[in-house]
Structure 1
Amino acid sequence: FIPWKKLYHRYLKREDWALQRVEQILQEFSITKEQQGCVLGLVRLVSSTGPRVDPSGVLQILGTHPLFPKAQLCVLRKFPDLQSKPGPEKMWAVVAVMVLFSDSVRDIQKLLECFGSPRSKVSVLEVTEVLHCMATLLFAMRDRSIPISNRIHYNIFYCLSLMENASGIVQPLEEGRVDLGSRADVKLTHEQQRILNHKIEPGQTVKIMAFAGTGKTSTLVKYAEKFRELKFLYLAFNKAVAEKGKKVFPRNVTCKTFHSLAFGSIGRHYKDKGKLNFSKMSVYSISFLLQSRKGQSLFIRGKLVSKTLENFFSSSDEEICEEHTPLWFKNTHGQMELMSREEKKISVEEAKEIWHNMKKLDGDAEKRYKMTCDGYLKLWQLSKPQLSGYDAIFVDEAQDCTPGEL
């Protein structure tokens, strides 16, 4: 949801797609060295791509900026066709010219302060996208030896850099609940604030990528607080994290683990029948379920079947197949061997037999084939559950999710 910023940084990295896209834009708006007055094409681009907002109130706020009168006069003379348009095209053209007229970083900072006014209907994110648009094209123009001062790009770049490294104070959580750091105030970075400015749409996936301890969960807490009219489901991998989430998140968030969802739908039936094993099936117990084969160790085969089942449970596949078998195994001499096609076939057959019996709620009087937690999670995944009642789902540490969980 920040296309111009992404394009800017990809262009700086000289990615092929970005280079082609920028060249296409330059040609489309006649921003070439051969075109006289090509800077006007840049203004035209900004005026046509700026966010669609009511310009009346914003123009009044911009009127307090020292560069506004000169920029407005320039647009009036150079772009007479924009005067009759009721939309925001004229406003964004004025903004673009103000940036081009800027003598210092402070001029652009004052411009951002105008948009930060409570009367402004333009978000800071929308303005920074316009600035990234201009920065991208200005940098590309310099690449093509189009005569334009590098100072303008520097002013934009430096101003954006100052913004992104600044922090803002947000209000504490609702009374009776605690924040993640047990502090009265939580500081959000500019990156976190941009996430809060984005309202999730149905069917949309948003990834928050950051290092451990940088505030990903804090961002989700603040997001849920901002959009209190929405209902969220927060999914964690273990019970301790989910329980902590119940104390941290506002009341429009339900906190659960993946396994608790699956248990409520599938696992509880096996528990009621006494067929639930809350730990993994051990290699030792699996080896007792296998038939003896000449020249093969039951314990080694138990390892192969255990790994095959584990890979199947983690996958999004509906049936056990040879792709779930391990590639290598350690033989009775402790040496690594590549699994043969025949060994793979045997492991698949044995894993299928065990899985078939694990799924049975009745008919296993000795209860040798108990359902495991990963097993009922797999059954829940195969049932294609519909998590109705929630507007969005927060997945904690989503990078660690298996294909089956996703």
Structure 2
Amino acid sequence: MAAKNRFPRNVTCKTAHGLAYAVYGSQYKHKQAGNLRLTDIARTINTQDWELAKDIVSTLNAFMASKDLELLEDHFVRFQSNRTLTSVQQQYMSKALNLTKDVWDKMVDIKDRSVSMTHDGYLKLYQMSQPDLSQRFGAILLDEGQDVNPVIANLVQIQTITQVTVGDRHQQLYR
């Protein structure tokens, strides 16, 4: 991390994932992966319906990037632009959400190797735990603040210590 060498010794430089890894990620070393694989999800839910597996992965990714503490219909990406759903679409979404919850439960189960733990997964667990960083730090400096996703933004916003966000709103990745 380049920033570490640019600050005095009384400054601790960490990424959000680095903070989360120390608490949760290290527990999942034996089942970590960079991304969820469609084949693993399809095998876990015992299906050859690749669209369903894809919907589960995209729903889980949307949940892990969100500030929400529970999986919601809002995380189901496929129908987000639809204002009203047909009964068939509603049933499909309900089924997909239930399966996504099952996959999430397997992901966070340390003993269950059927679903890998991703970096965004342990970051989500950390955010959901609502950590109090005031026990370790006097302030937070969030660099590239325009590029943080909602889960990281929430992790910072819930803190009671001084927060400084640095960034360029004209270079925003997440809108």
**How well do the aligned residues superpose, as a CA RMSD in angstroms?**
1.9
Alpha-carbon shift at residue 346 of structure 1 (Å): 1.4
Aligned mates of 1:289, 1:323 — CA distance in 2? 23
TM-score, normalised via structure 2 length = 0.76
| Higher RCO (C-alpha under 8 Å, 6+ residues apart) | 2
Question: Which of 115, 122, 138 is the equivalent residue of 1:369?
Answer: 115
1:384 to 130, 136, 152: 130
**1:304 Cα offset (Å):** 0.4
Residue 340 of structure 1 pairs with residue 75 of structure 2: no
How much does 1:398 deviate?
1.1
Aligned-partner Cα distance in 2 for 1:345–1:264: 35
Question: Partner of 1:275 in structure 2?
Answer: 31
Report the CA distance between 1:393 and its aligned residue: 0.6
Which amino acid in the other structure matches residue 269 of structure 1?
Q
CA distance in 2, matches of 1:356, 1:391: 34
CA distance in 2, matches of 1:400, 1:310: 17
Asked if residue 402 in structure 1 is aligned to residue 158 in structure 2, the reply is: no
Task: Supply the distance in 1 between the matched residues of 2:78 and 2:49 (Cα, whole angstroms).
Answer: 18
Residues 289-339 of structure 1, C-alpha deviation per residue, up to 9 Å, x if partnerless?
Answer: 2233xxxx621111100010001001111211211001359xxxxxxxx99
- 1:405 counterpart SS class: helix
Say which one has the larger Rg: 1
Which of 50, 58, 68 is equivalent to 1:299? 50
Contact 1:307 1:326 in 2 (8 A): yes
**Number of residues paired by the alignment?**
146
**Amino acid corresponding to residue 95 of structure 2 in structure 1:** I
Please say if residues 275 and 370 of structure 1, whose CA atoms lie closer than 8 Å, have aligned partners that are also in contact: yes
* Aligned residue in 2 for 1:264: 22
Structure 2 contact 67–150 (Cα < 8 Å) conserved: yes
Gaps of 5+ in 1: 1-242, 330-337
Q: Secondary structure of the residue that 1:404 maps to in structure 2?
A: helix
Aligned-partner Cα distance in 2 for 1:371–1:378: 11
- Whole-angstrom distance in 1 between the partners of 2:31 and 2:118: 9
Q: What is residue 393 of structure 1 aligned with on the other side?
A: 140
Q: Partner of 1:317 in structure 2? A: 68
Letter in 2 for 1:298: D
8 Å Cα contact 2:42/2:49 also seen in 1: yes
Judge conservation of contact 1:311–1:325 (CA < 8 Å) in 2. yes
Gapped regions of structure 2 (runs ≥ 5): 81-85, 154-175
Alpha-carbon distance in structure 2 between the residues aligned to 1:405 and 1:322 = 21
AA matched with 2:102: E
2-structure distance, mates of 1:381, 1:254: 19
1:405 offset after TM fit, Å? 1.1
**Amino acid aligned to 1:379:** L
In 2, distance between residues paired with 1:306 and 1:348?
Answer: 11
User: What do residues 215-261 of structure 1 show as CA deviations (whole Å, max 9, x unaligned)?
Assistant: xxxxxxxxxxxxxxxxxxxxxxxxxxxx1101112222111111111
Q: Is the 8 A contact 1:290 1:298 kept in 2?
A: no
* Alignment-mate amino acid for residue 65 of structure 2: S
Q: Spell out the pairing of 1:2-401 with structure 2 (5 A cutoff).
A: 243-271=1-29, 274-277=30-33, 279-292=34-47, 298-328=49-79, 340-362=89-111, 364=112, 367-387=113-133, 388-401=135-148
How far apart, in 2, do the equivalents of 1:379 and 1:286 lie?
Answer: 20
Q: How many angstroms apart in 2 are the aligned matches of 1:375 and 1:402? A: 14
Q: Any conservation in 1 of the 2:55–2:78 contact (CA below 8 Å)?
A: no
Deviation at 1:285, TM superposition (A): 2.0
2:45 maps to a residue whose letter is L
- Specify the alignment match of 1:105 in structure 2: none
**Amino acid aligned to 1:371:** M
- Structure 1 residue aligned with 2:173: none
Q: Distance in 2 between matches of 1:282 and 1:318?
A: 23
Where in structure 1 do 4 or more consecutive aligned residues deviate above 3 Å? none
